[in-house]
Structure 1
Amino acid sequence: MLKFDRVSKVYRVGSFGGDELTAVRDADFEVRPGEVVSLIGESGSGKSTLGKMALRIASVSRGAITCDGTDISTLRGNRRLKEYYRRVQGVFQDPFSSYNPIFKADRVFAVIRSEYHRGVSDAEWREKVRSALDVVRLDPAQVLGKYPHQLSGGQLQRLLIARALLLDIDYLVADEVISMLDASTRIDVLNLLADLKARGMGILFITHDLALGNYISDQTVILHKGSIVERGGTEKVFGDPLHPYTRKLLASVPQFHKKWEEVEAELRARELADTGSRDYHLSTAQEVPGDLVEASEDHFVQPFVPGVRA
């Protein structure tokens, strides 16, 4: 299990680093094998920072990230880090930035072989590559030996996932992996992630797109300004949103059968009608720092005070 235990990330900013910027505050959740957990929030909410900390691209300021009980911040030395990266890998938003344009795209496989499969024969390695490409639905004849500019974004993204499969990983950090792909390619990559989940892989799916998170995830974590405001089973978070920020996010999803003027009118009417014990004015609700409370089984929400202007 990949567990985030009250994880915070603080950056030093300002002249001579005299000020602090908290990018993530006390994030607490876990990713289990065979489960997709979606991190959802607007730009700057801390989603990618959490992914980078899981991959040790960024350090943890407070708290701990553990993989099957081992604090990953304690991993020292090339051997222990390689063992960790054999289990946890990441795929990022812009597939083109992951390749050197002067090398053929499948050079990413050669790097994996030199670091993790040095004793494998040429014939066995070719079979491993063919098998990984088959999982991500790529034809070796169409992608191997090609330069990055000769392949589409979807093909490059799936090559990166195939690279991770060559390590037989347990967890994948997928950071906005389909945001730069066209609609027809997006569904292919989403279905691929669903197949990997069915094989027992745990996936941390980072996105700002609620529809995608709802489509693929088992658990949903809603982030706002670095803090988790709501988390739980995806059906519960989407079907019965409790925090005002979650409701506002869901209300902002475009609806093809409605004009924007209709949506705006509905939002205004909802805000005026929000006077019940669980209904609060979205523009005036202020979060209360502290632990999430369990509203129902597998559904947690950050406490907040209604009617107080931030």
Structure 2
Amino acid sequence: MSLLQADDITVRDGTTTLLAPVSLRLDPGEPLVVLGETGSGKSLLAQALMGTLPLGLEAKGQVTIGAQVLNSGAPDQFRGLWGREISVLPQEPWLSLDPLMRAQAQIAEGHCLVRGLPPREARIRAASDLSELGLADAAARYPHELSGGMAQRVAIAAARAGGARIVIADEPTKGLDAARRDEVANLLLNEMGQSGGLLIITHDLALAERIGGQLIVLRAGEVVERGATRAVFAAPGQSYTRDLLAANPENWTGKAAAAPAGTAVISSRNLSLARGRRTLFRDVSLDIAAGQVFGVTGPSGCGKSSLGDTLLGVIPPLQGQVQRQPGLHPFAFQKLYQDPVAAFPPRRTIGETLMDVVKMTRSDPRDVDRLLDGLGLQPDLLARRPGAVSGGELQRLSLLRVLLRRPAFIFADEPTSRLDPITQARVIKLLTNATESDGIALMLVSHDQALIRNTADAVLPLTPPCDPARAAAKKRVAIALQ
């Protein structure tokens, strides 16, 4: 007997169909992966299955969970099942974590209130969950003290704390390095076991292949292909699926030649940084020139984002100095955030926020339309608030906002972690083209080594100084790609 069955699920926004009829079945012990590009309707499908669609959107169809038959158009029917029968790991960890609670307390709350464990046992289980995810030292931290990858792992532990047999994981590994991605995949598969159900919503090809099971490929709200994951990856039947697989950064052509070294827009000398009692990195010296793409890689939590924030002057260094090209306005140094939800005013439309930037920088309003087209975004998104825009679309809108400021330096913190391979390639090309044509110094941070290898002019492999396995790694110099 299936754990979950969905029949003819549709999602509409007024007269506009966002998700065409989709049917699926989730069996015990066999994961189901929903793969597709940004904005294809993957998250809408997950929300319809949970009864959590945003206001204004209407679902139709039938969802059967165990012996209960539910109307997807009546979300109140689902609430009694949340956490106990079906749980969701949201795409944005910042939205699922309480900013006023420490990590261990958030996880213990699920064990206690949903699973029904005594408080002391709930705290012990929460500590064990954090340890399994490599976060034993993060138990007392608040969400704002966690890196994006660390926050995602805390959200995973909180989602599985209630003991629900069915877990819907929406982009569970975005922003994580390959090792952490595989750890999370193993954790979710182990939690599923032989009797649980696991539905993965993702654009991450490596994750989809690692999870295996059954696969559904979505495009523009419609199913274009389905079958066993390994069979589809080995011999995709549709041209769109073939294009999606071919856009993997592993298949990109490497950068032809390094950009000529010009005037350094930003530099650091012997830079060291600590958070609390933990040293993130030591003695980092670098120069990023105009027109150069400078790549930074490293495992989740090693200080990649903190390095960029230190260069921008947001975080003071423990030791060392940062030099910025004199004569440039502070607005010339910009950050493209890893979590765009936290960077947009939630109660204003996207268009209102972008027009603020146009007025502030005295830009041409037509630049908005030009950049929308270049980023593959529809103009009607400007009328929406951030909560009504997909994570991938919001990330591209973040890039649009940064480019409107005509920056001299951009710190791009995992700028494509929410994008499918096709859109990722397009956005990286736009970003690198702008770097070359406008003479922007770009610091590109990513856990994806293939993306950095095939994009950057120079690379800094950042590793924690306390990691004995990588004690000999080079942390001070940028290695120019040959």
**TM-score, normalization by structure 2:** 0.47
Contact map agreement 1:154 1:189 (CA 8 A) in 2: no
Q: What does residue 82 of structure 1 align with?
A: 80
Question: Is the Cα contact below 8 Å between 2:18 and 2:41 reproduced in 1?
Answer: yes
Deviations 1:179-206 (A, max 9, x none): 1223443232222223223364311111
Distance 1:154 1:168 in 2: 23
Equivalent pair of 1:222/1:246 in contact (CA under 8 Å): yes
Q: Percent identity?
A: 32
Instruction: Provide Cα deviations, 1:52-76, integer angstroms capped at 9, x if missing partner.
Output: 1122102763221211142233888
Aligned to 2:152, which of 153, 157, 180?
157
Is the contact made by 2:156 and 2:172 (CA closer than 8 Å) also made in structure 1?
A: no
Match of 2:51 in 1: 56
The answer as to 2:177 corresponding to 1:182 is yes
Give 2:118's match in structure 1, choosing from 104, 121, 124: 121
Q: Is residue 99 from structure 1 mapped to residue 94 from structure 2 by the alignment? A: no
3-state DSSP class of the match of 1:213?
Answer: helix
Higher relative contact order (CA 8 A, sep 6+): 1
The alpha-carbon deviation at position 113 of structure 1 amounts to 5.6
- The aligned length equals 250
Structure-2 separation of matches of 1:167 and 1:73: 24
- CA–CA distance in structure 2, aligned partners of residues 191 and 204 of structure 1: 14
TM-score of the pair, normalised by structure 1: 0.70
Q: Aligned partners of 1:151 and 1:84: how far apart in 2? A: 26
Q: Which of 27, 30, 35 matches 1:35? A: 30
- RMSD over aligned Cα, in angstroms? 2.8
Alignment match of 2:222 (pick from 218, 227, 232): 227
Q: Does 1:9 align with 2:11?
A: yes
CA contact (8 A) 2:182 2:210 kept: no
Separation (CA, whole Å) in 2 of partners of 1:115 and 1:198: 24
Question: Which secondary structure state, in structure 1, belongs to the residue aligned with residue 250 of structure 2?
Answer: coil
Q: Distance in 2 between matches of 1:254 and 1:128?
A: 38
- Work out whether 1:215 is the aligned partner of 2:215: no
Equivalent residues of 1:7, 1:60 under 8 A apart? no
Q: Deviations over 1:77-128 (max 9, x none)?
A: 79x733443121111222223223333233423543664366x533333333
SS of 1:255's partner is: helix
Cα 1:155/1:177, change in 2 over 3 Å: same
Q: Secondary structure at the match of 1:163?
A: helix
The partner residue of 2:71 within 59, 68, 73 is: 73
Which region of structure 1 is more displaced relative to structure 2, 167-176 or 243-252?
243-252
Closer, same or farther in 2 for the Cα pair 1:148/1:232, shift >3 Å? same
Distance in 2 (CA, whole Å) between partners of 1:99 and 1:202 is 23
Q: Following the alignment from structure 1 to structure 2, what is the Cα–Cα distance between the partners of residues 67 and 210?
A: 28
How far apart in 2 are the matches of 1:96 and 1:126? 22
Counterpart secondary structure, 1:22: strand
Shift of 1:225: 1.1
Q: Which residue of 2 aligns with 1:143?
A: 138
The one-letter amino acid of 1:122's match is P
AA paired with 2:100?
Answer: I
Structure with greater Cα Rg = 2
Structure 2 residue aligned with 1:112 = 110
Deviation at 1:2, TM superposition (A): 1.2
Distance in structure 2 (CA, Å) of the matches to 1:125 and 1:245: 46
Contact 1:91 1:157 in 2 (8 A): no
